[in-house]
Structures are given as C-alpha cells and as structure tokens.
C-alpha cells in the first residue's frame, strides 16, 4: 500500500519517536468524512439517504447470495415514489478486475443511473469504488487513476453496505483492482473514494459461516493493531483502533459459537468499520506485508494469513513498540488482567492472549481456523503453504508497499525467520531479529 514514499514513512517514524512523551506525532493526516448508519434494521433507511443525495436511480452491485436472501427487497420496498433500480449486477468475482469495472461502468451509463449502492464483501465494495471513478470522471481508462491522489473532485453518490466484518472497505480511501493482463494489483488511493454513506446492518452478516467470521474479524483486529503500533499512528486512528480491538476481543468467540447473535454481529461490523478508519489513515505493517505475499504465492485467504501472522508481527516489533503492545492488553483482556499484570510483562501478555484466542477459534471451528500453516489444509486436503514456499514468499514481501510503515525495517532473512515461525506456529526467535533482544 503506497500512500507515501519510504522517506515520508521514515519522517513519520522520527516524529513519532521524538514526541513519545506527549504521545502525539508532530504531524499527521486523518480523513474519514463518511456518514455511518449502524443498527439492526438500517437497510430501510437507504432510500431516504438516496433522496438526501438527490439520487433516484441507483446501480445496485451485489452477489447472487445476497440477491436471493431478500435483503435487496428491503431496500427496494422502501423506495420513494420516484425511485427505481436503474440496473442490478450480482456477477462480481472475488478478485475484481479491470474488465468487470468497465462492464459495470457501461451498465451504469446505458441505464441512466445516478448513484451506486453496493452490498457485499470487500471485492464488491472495491469494485463499486472503481466503477464510481469511471462514471464520474468519464472514459474507460481506469489505470490512469491508479496510485495516490489522481482524483481531484467528488465522485457520484455512493452507498456501501459491508456483508463481512473484516476489510473495512466502507471506511477506507483504498480500492484494489486486478490488472490480469499485466499480472498486477492496481491500488487506488484517494479520500474521494470514500462513500457518502456506510450502512452497518447486523442482518447482512448473520449468514457468514463461523470460520469466515473468525478470519474476517481477525483481519479487522490486525488492521486496528497495526494502525495502533504503526509509524502513521495518531490520536484519531488510535481511538478508532483501541475501541475496535475491544469490540472484537469481547465478541469474536461468542459470535463464532453463536452466529445468530445479532448484537455480537453488529459489534463486529462496527469494529471492522472503526479498524478501517484507523488503518486507512495510519496504514499497516509487517503482518500485512507478509500476508499479502503469502496470499500471492499460496492463495491462502487474507484473514487466515492475518490470524497466523498477528502474534508474530507483534513479537517482531516488540523492541520498538513494547509500550503500545502492552497498552493493548486492556482492550484485549479487560481491566482485571491489565491491572494485575506488571507493566513490563503486559506486551508479552497481549501476545499470549492473541495466541489463546486463535487456538480457541481453531477448536470451535473444528480446525477451519488457523494458528499455523503446518496444520492448515483446504477442504480437499491440499496443504497450500509449504516450507519450500518460504524463500519466494519472503522475496515477494519486500516489494509490498506496507513494508515502509512497519516500525522496524524488514530484511529478506528476517522475513524468512517470521515465515518459518508462521509455518510451525512457534514463538519468534528474537535473537534472529535486529535488536530483537533489546527490552
Ligand atoms: Fe487486512
């Protein structure tokens, strides 16, 4: 993720270190101008939001499962008299590409749509953001808007409804689209990609299977924690991150055990949204750096990678972020454990709690959740990540944009060390990490 370059990231790190006494950076950027509706029955309010945005003919983007579930009917049954769905598409692949975005932009134009409503997982929401670029800017050349800051003005009205509590895409300035022809992922970064309205309705996540619920929530937890310990941390993202960690820690196990727990579902959706706001402004670090490359090399889902790597990424940064990792014990374990743990032991205790959480989720999901890659297999018995994949994965990781935002720099050898520990599920050997032995 390349919002700034390496030297800007280093400046952030220096500013952060200089100002630790005040706990304030000398400079930071934060933006998240999104109206957020959260509750058990908020889909009904979408037509009212469309009216406020002076729209009455939305393009609706979703999945076939959502379309069959009746959730879209809730929106359409509440349309005002002059409103109608301009067009509906439920054929968005999990890894959306340039062709899909072009096709949907054409659908928008040929049906005289005036806004976009997207209800789905991360890919559907990212696709909606990218379609909004084309229908607002005109033309069909999406590539020229990739990177940071290419958009200069507000886009068409956009309402996003996440159906997984993980990516936080409804609160981020980011969209990722595949360029299949050139075998690369295109990153779009701009505050103009934020939706006008984000809708968090507990009903839309009720059918998410337990293992997927665990993975996506651990992805959101990782967004919050990497934002809280990262080089771009600031008071605004810290408060979002801290609350997100607390909501996830309190609810993740209950919701995975009881998928129909509506209050718990809403808590995870809100947490994912807040974690999205946090990392959209503070960025992510080594856990995402390595997670992206494992995903690219072995095609393991992002949430599984996050679950396995989270404790290791914290151990990797322990010598630079002991204080912050220790602070996270409060939202993760509660005030009793926090107050009974001596300050110098809190960081290790935080990591211990995350490992315990992963093991509990592994047991509840009968092994579908992961805490290492050695024992992780797909349903057909395939073992997607093997020891021999480690060198290529480590090499790939060094080209990931998020590598700049980790508090400690990462060498090839260190990436290999972390990946070896991720494979076995053992603790990180800190003697192999630069200054890792320092307390
Ligand atoms: Fe993530």
Q: Tens digits of per-residue pLDDT, 307-355?
A: 999 999 999 999 999 999 999 999 999 999 999 999 999 999 999 999 9
Q: What is the phi/psi pair of residue 161, to 5°? A: -125, 105
Percent helix, percent strand, percent coil in the chain, to nearest 5: 55, 10, 35
Distance from the CA of 138 to the center of ligand 1, in angstroms? Answer: 30
| CA-to-CA separations, 250 to 213, 217, 221, 362, in angstroms, rounded | 14, 11, 12, 17
3 CA from centroid of ligand 1 (Å): 16
User: Measured in angstroms, how far is the CA atom of residue 78 from the centroid of ligand 1?
Assistant: 34
What does the alpha-carbon distance between residue 333 and residue 247 come to, in Å, rounded to a whole number? 11
C-alpha 272 – ligand 1 centre gap (Å): 10
Q: Tokens 């209050």 correspond to what residue?
A: 263
Integer CA distances (angstroms), 411 to 17, 192, 392, in order: 22, 35, 14
For residue 111, report the distance from its CA to the centre of ligand 1, in Å: 34
CA angle 300, 304, 307 (to 5 degrees): 145
Distance 157 CA to ligand 1 centre (A): 26
Residue 121 Cα to ligand 1 midpoint, Å, equals: 13
- Bigger pLDDT: 286 or 178? 286
H helix runs in 86-121, sequence order:
98-110
Rounded to the nearest angstrom, the distance between the alpha carbon of 305 and the centre of ligand 1 is: 9
Q: How far is the CA of 233 from the centre of ligand 1 (A)?
A: 17
Ligand 1 centroid to Cα of residue 276, in Å, is 9
In the reported structure, the alpha carbon of residue 223 is separated from the centroid of ligand 1 by a whole-number distance in angstroms of: 6
Q: What is the pLDDT of residue 95?
A: 82
Tell how far the Cα of 65 is from the centroid of ligand 1, in angstroms: 23
Q: Where does the pLDDT of residue 405 fall: very low under 50, low under 70, confident under 90, or very high at 90 and above?
A: confident
262-282 and 235-257 helices, crossing angle to 10°: 150
Distance 219 CA to ligand 1 centre (A): 5
Percentage above 70 pLDDT, the chain: 94
Report the candidate in 206, 132, 198, 221 with the shortest Cα–Cα distance to residue 164. 206
Q: In the numeric block, which tokens belong to residue 225?
A: 């924690």
CA of 379 to the centre of ligand 1 (A): 23
What confidence score (pLDDT) does residue 21 get? 46
Joined tokens for residue 155: 């886009």
Q: What is the pTM of this model?
A: 0.92
Distance CA 30, CA 33 (A): 10
Ligand 1 centroid–CA 245 distance in Å is 14
> How far away, in angstroms, is 28 Cα from ligand 1 center?
22
53-88 pLDDT, tens per residue?
A: 999 999 999 999 999 999 999 999 999 999 999 999
């Amino acid at each position: 993720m390349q919002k700034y370059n390496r030297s800007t990231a280093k400046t952030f790190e220096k500013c952060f270190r200089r100002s630790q006494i005040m706990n304030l950076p000398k400079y930071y950027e934060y933006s998240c101008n999104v109206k957020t509706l959260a509750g058990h029955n908020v889909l009904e309010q979408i037509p009212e939001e469309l009216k406020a945005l002076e729209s009455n003919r939305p393009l609706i983007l979703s999945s076939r499962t959502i379309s069959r579930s009746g959730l879209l009917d809730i929106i359409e049954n509440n349309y005002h008299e002059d409103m109608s769905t301009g067009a509906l598409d439920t054929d968005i692949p999990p890894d959306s590409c340039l062709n899909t975005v072009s096709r949907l932009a054409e659908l928008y134009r040929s049906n005289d749509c005036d806004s976009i409503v997207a209800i789905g997982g991360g890919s559907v929401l990212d696709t909606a953001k990218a379609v909004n670029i084309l229908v607002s800017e005109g033309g069909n050349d999406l590539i020229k808007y990739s990177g940071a800051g290419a958009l200069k003005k507000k886009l068409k009205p956009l309402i996003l409804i996440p159906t997984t509590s993980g990516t936080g895409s409804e609160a981020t300035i980011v969209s990722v689209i595949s360029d299949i022809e050139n075998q690369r992922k295109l990153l779009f970064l701009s505050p103009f990609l934020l939706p006008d309205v984000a809708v968090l309705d507990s009903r839309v996540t009720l059918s998410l299977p337990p293992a997927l619920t665990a993975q996506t929530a651990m992805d959101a937890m990782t967004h919050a924690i990497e934002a809280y310990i990262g080089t771009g941390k600031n008071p605004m993202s810290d408060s979002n991150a801290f609350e997100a960690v607390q909501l996830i820690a309190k609810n993740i196990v209950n919701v995975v055990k009881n998928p129909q727990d509506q209050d718990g579902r809403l808590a995870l959706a809100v947490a994912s949204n807040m974690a999205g706001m946090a990392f959209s402004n503070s960025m992510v670090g080594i856990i995402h750096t390595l997670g992206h490359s494992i995903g690219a090399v072995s095609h393991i889902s992002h949430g599984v990678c996050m679950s396995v790597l989270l404790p290791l990424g914290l151990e990797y940064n322990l010598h630079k972020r002991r204080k912050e990792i220790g602070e996270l014990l409060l939202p993760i374990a509660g005030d009793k454990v926090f107050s009974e743990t001596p300050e110098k032991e809190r960081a290790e205790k935080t990591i211990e709690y995350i490992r315990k959480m992963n093991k509990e989720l592994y047991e509840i999901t009968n092994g579908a959740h992961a805490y290492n890659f050695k024992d992780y297999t797909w349903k057909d018995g395939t073992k997607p990540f093997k020891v021999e994949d480690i060198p290529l994965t480590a090499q790939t990781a060094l080209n990931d944009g998020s590598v700049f935002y980790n508090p400690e720099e990462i060498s090839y050898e260190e990436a290999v060390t972390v990946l070896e520990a991720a494979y076995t599920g053992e603790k990180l050997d800190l003697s192999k990490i630069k200054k890792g032995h320092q307390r």
